[in-house]
Each structure stands twice: as structure tokens, then as C-alpha cells.
């Protein structure tokens, strides 16, 4: 029966592609006591929490490899981090890494093979597909039912004291990493509190100073600034952004109209699909006006990779964008200052319509990152060992290794505070990210440390506070709500076509290829395609999440 269940799941995995976009923030409603604490406490004494572990077994792990690390080592086991992890835990691990850019395809092949490794690092979060949602149709509950992964309640209770302690202390985190029925399914990547906000609007401060302008905070102020950048600085694309299936502005400008370019939670706690809101039309009119006047990059839909964005910002073709803290602002400042010492980027607040308003929505992620968490496979013969090995990353010593690397090499303690060494921060051959990738695990199942800081400019430190001043926590949807199997099937049938049509029309409206008067017709078409059913499914899954 077990193999039958698994084979049945294989066809499901390969035939169903769910493409709902679930983005979100979490509810702070109280939860029932963790199922962890209800497990039997009369089990035999174990060596849980003691390292190195005495074992002759070798674990197997399937996990994506950091792209920076792959340029130095073919396998995580050969890196300084991998060697040190084996030394400290006493556990030898054989890693398999999918090729860069092929993780999803190779994950599907892995599941279909019926030969699963002991642990699998991927997105085991809620049901659905697309950014932030589980790649396994039906979500973690279905994966457990299909015996692809194990429920972890008893295993965490008996063999993972570090994670167990964290879940008992943090009920919000506890709620995030279990299903609606209370099953724990993953060892989570846990972001520190200061790692939740890392993307937002940024603008050339040296240009603003030269033109005697202030950092814009409202839509009208942004219009004035961008128009001046075009007229006085000769910028052909005053505002630009990357385009990957949608304009990557994290609802900047759109959020000023109290809507979003995705599903969101309204002020009454109801799930809404922003692109059919009446006020979404106002956001389209704004972007259409900017595009027509040459303030929004005329080639925005062609900026499908980071190089296009880099070239426009570094060539002074653009003066503003929405980007990442380290991979964007930090990298651009570093490159820009080498060419022009006055080059300066600063964060701008998520804009509003009125001066002094608090932004409705912006970028805010979650302490639990489903995209880089590990599940224990249903095929493992070493579940206890796997769980003990995984739990190391949530203790004090393990967290130091995962966040900072090897003491005396990649970091040193300074008055009790770990700080990266000059070998990492001032390497003559390689940049900070390349060095960090060799000694730490940039993404994965571990406890993030708020003392870890990749910021190299004070403007980056200031950006976190500026971008964090929004009501995103109320309005962004959780990444890990779990539609049922039947709900996931329904979403799979509807959402891919809806998302594709929405984005096609978004681009046409902004570029003026479709008259804005067709907005109502566009809304009706999306409703005919079944958006109300998808919204209802998301609402019911969100309600269940809040009751966990």
C-alpha cells in the first residue's frame, strides 16, 4: 500500500502545476499548545543534543547549492563549511545538488524516482505553486499522506531539543511550520527579526542633492523627481526595475492606492485579489502616465535579468529602482563609487498619496522561510540520526557555524559578539558574498542570527528602518497557508491562466496598447476565468491557518 500511495502521488506531482501567488504576513492570534509538548515524555533516554554523534551511518541530502559556492567547490561536503559541519556533528553526509536553474525539474524527477534521500531541502510550505508556495501538489499534508515525507512531531519531541525549545517559546513560528491538522513537516529556515525587510525603493541621493530635491515620499513628489531626472540629468529611464513574470516593484506605487498586484489581506481581514480592485485602475493610470512621459523605463519588460538593471543604474540611464539591500543597494554602491566617488543610493519610503500617511503594503517577509527548509523523507532508514543532525543548526554552537562559519578563520569573537574576519570582508580576490558562501550556509534550515550583517554602507542600515515603516504585516498573505488536495486541484485548473492573462493586460495597459477604458472588461474576463473560486479557497485556507 505504501508504494501504491507513492506511485499515485507521482502522477499527481507531474501532472498538476499549481500557480497561485501567495504572499504574506502572519496573524498574531493565539494558538493551541504545540502538539510537540503532548508527545510522550516517558520515552527512553537519548543522546539528543549531544555532539559529536557517534555513528557509522552516512546520511544523504538533496539540496540546492549556493551559486557563489559552486564556483569554488563541486559539492557542499568539500567546502570549509561542509567539512566543519561533519567534524562538529560527527555525521558524514553525501550531498546531491540539482543544477543551477533546474531545481524544480530535478525535484519532480527525484520524487518520481521512488529513491529518496534521507532529507530534502526545498519548499515544503503550503499548497499551491509559484513564489512562496509548496511545489508539492496538495502541500505538506498530501506529501505526508503519500509517505513522501515524515510527520515530525514525535521525532522533534524526542530527538530535536533545540528546535523543540524554539517552538515552545515562539507560538507564531510554531503555527507556521505545521499543517492545519497540527503535523510538523519541516526543519525551518528561521530569519532573525532584522532580516524580514530587505527590498524597497531606492534613489540617487547625489542627483537629488545636485538638483536641490528631497527624497520623495508621495506619488506627486515622485513624479516631480523623476521628471527632473529626465529633464535635468538626461536620464532616458528615470525609474527602472527588473521584470520577471511581473514588474518587480514589490507593490511600490501600486500600494499607494491601498491595493496590491497579487492576493492580499484587506483591513477587514478578508482575502482580496488586487488586480481586479477598482483602485487598481488608478495605479495603472499612474504607471501608464509615467510610461507615456518616459519616466518609467520604456524597455521595462525587457529587463528580465539583473545585468540589464545593473547596466542602466551604472551608466546613469536610471536614477531610481526597487531592489534588494545587499544584492542591490550594497553591490551598486560598491561598483558606482569606484566610477564616481559621489555616487550614492538611499532608501525612499514606500510612497503614499498623502504626506504623512503610513504605506498600506510593502516588502516584509516571514521568520519562517519555506523556500529553504528541510523535510525528512518517508524512505529514510535513519530518521532519528537525520533529526539529530538537523537539530544542530538550532543550538548556540551550530547557529554560529551556519551564520558565521569557523571561529578563527571566517569570524572572531569581539567582546562576545561574532564578527566576520578580514579574510572574509577584505579579501583581495573575492567579494563578501563569495567568501561567506564557503564558510557558512547562506540559506537553509538553521536559526538566523541578528548579529550577522552584510551591510557595508550606512545607507543600507538606514534602509531597513525606512522600508519597514509600512502596514505590510497586516496585508501580506502568509506563504504557508495549506489548501486541501481538492482545493489545490481547483486552483491548478484556474490560476495559471488567470495569472498569465492578468500580466499580459498589465503590460498592455501600462504601455498604452490597450485603452484604460477596457479595465472593466478585463475585470469581467478574470471573473469569468474563476478568480472568485480561487479567492474563496485562499480565504478558507487563511481562516484555517489563523485557527491553528
412/508 same-domain check: no
Nearest to 162 by CA among 512, 402, 439, 472: 402
In the predicted model, what is the mean pLDDT of residues 60-83?
Answer: 96
Residues 277 and 307 in one domain: yes
| Residue 236 exposure: Cα atoms within 13 Å on the Cβ side | 7
Number of structural domains found in the chain:
2
How far is it, in rounded angstroms, from Cα 399 to Cα 471?
31
> Residue 41 falls within a domain, yes or no?
no
d(CA 364, CA 25): 7
Across the chain, how many H-helices and E-strands are there?
Answer: 21, 12
> Is 404's pLDDT higher than 90?
yes
Among 332, 291, 349, residue whose Cα is nearest residue 467: 349
Residue 303 lies in a domain: yes
Whether residue 352 sits in one domain with residue 217 = yes
The answer to the question of residue 244 being in a domain is: yes
Q: Is the pLDDT of residue 131 over 60?
A: no
For 482, phi then psi, to 5°, come to -125, 95
| pLDDT for 119 | 98
* Pair (185, 207) in one structural domain: no
pLDDT at 480: 85
CATH label of the domain that carries residue 66: 3.40.190.10
Q: How many angstroms from the chain centroid is the CA of residue 332?
A: 21
Q: Mean pLDDT throughout 12-29?
A: 35
Give the tens place of pLDDT for each residue, 172-213. 999 999 999 999 999 999 999 889 999 999 999 999 999 999
pLDDT band at 7 (very low <50, low <70, confident <90, very high): very low
Q: Rounded to the nearest 5 degrees, what angle is found at the Cα of 405, between the Cα atoms of 402 and 410?
A: 155
Is it the case that residue 13 has pLDDT exceeding 50? no
Listed in sequence order, the DSSP H helices in 214-342 are: 219-233, 278-292, 306-314, 331-339
Domain final residue pick, 435, 451, 467: 451
Q: How confident is the model at residue 485 (pLDDT cuts 50, 70, 90)?
A: confident
Burial 172-185 (b: 16+ CB within 10 A, else e): ebbbbbbbbebbbb
What pLDDT is attached to residue 309?
A: 93
Average pLDDT over residues 313-335: 94
Write out 344-382 in H/E/C secondary structure: CEEECCCCECCCCCCECCCCCCCCEEEEEEEEEECCCCC
The pLDDT confidence band at residue 490, using thresholds 50, 70 and 90, is: confident
Q: Do 359 and 500 fall into the same domain?
A: yes
Question: Does residue 52 form part of some domain?
Answer: no
Domain ends where: 451, 466, 483? 451
pLDDT in tens, 280-312: 999 999 999 999 999 999 999 999 888 899 999
Cα–Cα distances in Å, from 241 out to 110, 218, 230, 320, 328?
35, 19, 16, 8, 11
- H or E stretch including 321? strand 320-324
Query: Do 275 and 245 belong together in one domain?
Result: yes
Q: Are residues 348 and 497 in the same domain?
A: yes
Domain that holds residue 100: 2-17+57-192+369-451
Residue 524 lies in a domain: yes
Percent of residues, the chain, with pLDDT higher than 90: 77
Q: Are residues 308 and 401 in the same domain?
A: no
CA–CA separation, 229 and 237 (whole Å) = 9
27, pLDDT greater than 70: no
pTM: 0.81
Query: Do 427 and 344 fall within a single domain?
Result: no
Average pLDDT, stretch 4-17? 40
pLDDT exceeds 70 at position 4: no
Confidence of residue 39 (pLDDT cuts 50, 70, 90): very low
Q: What is the pLDDT of residues 241-274, one digit of tens each?
A: 999 889 999 999 999 999 999 999 999 999 999 9
**Does residue 511 fall inside a structural domain?**
yes
Neighbours of 425 (CB within 10 A): 16
Work out the average pLDDT over 105-128. 87
What number is the average pLDDT over the span 462-486? 91
Whether 499 is in a domain gets the answer yes
All 3 cell numbers of residue 455?
551591510
Q: Is residue 464 part of a domain?
A: no
Same domain, 282 and 405: no
pLDDT for position 199: 96
> Is 225 in contact with 210 (CB distance < 8 Å)?
no
Whether 359 and 377 share a structural domain: no
Q: What is the mean pLDDT of the chain?
A: 89
Q: Both 11 and 142 in a single domain? A: yes
Partners of 322 in beta bridges: 201
The pLDDT assigned to 187 comes to 98
Amino acid at each position: 500500500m505504501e508504494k501504491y500511495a507513492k506511485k499515485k502521488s507521482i502522477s499527481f506531482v507531474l501532472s498538476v502545476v499549481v500557480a497561485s501567488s501567495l504572499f504574506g504576513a502572519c496573524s498574531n492570534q493565539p494558538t493551541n499548545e504545540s502538539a510537540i509538548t503532548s508527545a510522550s515524555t516517558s520515552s527512553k533516554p537519548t543522546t539528543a543534543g549531544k555532539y559529536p554523534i557517534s555513528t557509522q551511518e552516512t546520511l544523504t541530502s538533496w539540496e540546492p547549492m549556493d551559486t557563489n559556492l559552486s564556483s569554488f567547490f563541486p559539492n557542499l561536503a568539500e567546502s570549509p563549511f561542509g567539512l566543519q559541519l561533519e567534524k562538529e556533528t560527527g555525521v558524514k553526509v553525501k550531498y546531491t545538488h540539482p543544477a543551477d536553474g533546474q531545481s524544480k525539474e530535478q525535484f519532480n524527477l527525484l520524487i518520481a524516482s521512488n529513491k529518496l534521500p534521507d532529507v530534502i531541502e526545498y519548499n515544503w510550505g503550503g499548497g499551491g505553486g509559484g513564489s512562496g508556495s509548496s511545489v508539492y501538489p496538495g502541500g505538506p499534508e498530501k506529501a505526508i499522506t503519500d509517505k513522501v515525507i515524515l510527520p515530525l512531531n514525535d521525532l522533534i519531541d524526542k530527538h530535536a531539543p533545540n528546535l523543540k525549545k524554539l517552538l515552545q517559546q515562539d507560538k507564531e513560528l510554531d503555527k507556521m511550520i505545521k499543517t492545519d491538522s497540527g503535523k510538523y513537516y519541516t526543519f525551518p529556515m528561521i530569519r532573525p527579526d532584522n532580516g524580514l525587510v530587505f527590498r524597497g525603493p531606492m534613489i540617487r541621493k547625489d542627483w537629488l542633492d545636485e538638483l536641490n530635491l528631497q527624497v520623495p515620499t508621495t506619488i506627486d513628489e515622485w513624479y516631480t523627481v523623476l521628471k527632473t531626472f529626465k529633464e535635468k540629468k538626461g536620464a532616458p529611464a528615470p525609474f527602472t526595475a527588473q521584470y520577471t513574470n511581473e514588474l518587480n516593484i514589490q507593490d511600490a506605487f501600486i500600494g499607494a492606492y491601498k491595493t496590491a498586484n497579487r492576493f492580499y489581506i484587506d483591513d477587514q481581514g478578508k482575502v482580496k485579489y488586487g488586480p481586479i480592485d477598482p483602485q487598481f485602475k488608478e495605479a495603472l493610470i499612474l504607471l501608464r502616465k509615467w510610461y507615456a512621459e518616459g519616466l518609467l523605463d520604456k524597455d521595462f519588460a525587457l529587463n528580465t535579468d539583473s545585468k540589464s538593471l545593473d547596466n542602466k543604474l551604472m551608466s546613469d540611464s536610471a536614477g531610481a529602482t526597487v531592489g534588494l539591500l545587499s544584492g542591490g543597494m550594497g553591490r551598486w554602491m560598491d561598483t558606482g563609487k569606484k566610477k564616481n566617488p559621489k555616487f550614492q543610493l538611499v532608501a525612499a519610503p514606500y510612497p503614499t498619496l498623502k504626506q504623512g500617511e503610513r504605506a498600506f503594503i510593502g516588502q516584509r517577509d516571514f521568520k519562517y522561510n519555506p523556500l529553504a527548509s528541510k523535510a525528512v523523507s518517508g524512505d529514510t532508514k535513519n530518521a532519528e540520526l537525520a533529526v539529530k543532525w538537523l537539530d544542530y543548526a538550532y543550538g548556540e554552537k551550530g547557529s554560529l557555524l551556519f551564520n558565521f562559519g569557523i571561529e578563527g578563520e571566517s569570524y572572531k569573537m569581539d567582546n562576545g559578539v561574532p564578527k566576520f574576519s578580514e579574510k572574509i570582508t577584505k579579501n583581495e580576490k573575492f567579494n563578501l558574498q563569495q567568501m561567506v558562501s564557503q564558510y557558512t550556509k547562506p540559506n537553509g534550515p538553521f536559526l538566523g542570527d541578528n548579529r550577522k550583517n552584510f551591510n557595508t554602507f550606512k545607507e543600507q542600515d538606514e534602509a531597513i528602518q525606512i522600508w519597514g515603516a509600512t502596514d505590510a504585516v497586516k496585508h501580506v498573505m502568509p506563504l504557508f497557508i495549506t489548501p486541501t488536495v481538492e482545493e489545490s486541484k481547483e486552483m491548478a485548473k484556474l490560476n495559471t491562466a488567470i495569472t498569465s492573462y492578468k500580466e499580459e493586460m498589465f503590460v498592455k495597459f501600462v504601455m498604452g496598447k490597450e485603452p484604460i477604458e477596457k479595465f472593466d472588461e478585463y475585470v469581467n474576463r478574470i471573473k469569468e476565468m474563476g478568480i472568485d473560486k480561487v479567492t474563496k479557497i485562499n480565504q478558507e485556507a487563511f481562516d484555517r491557518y489563523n485557527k491553528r
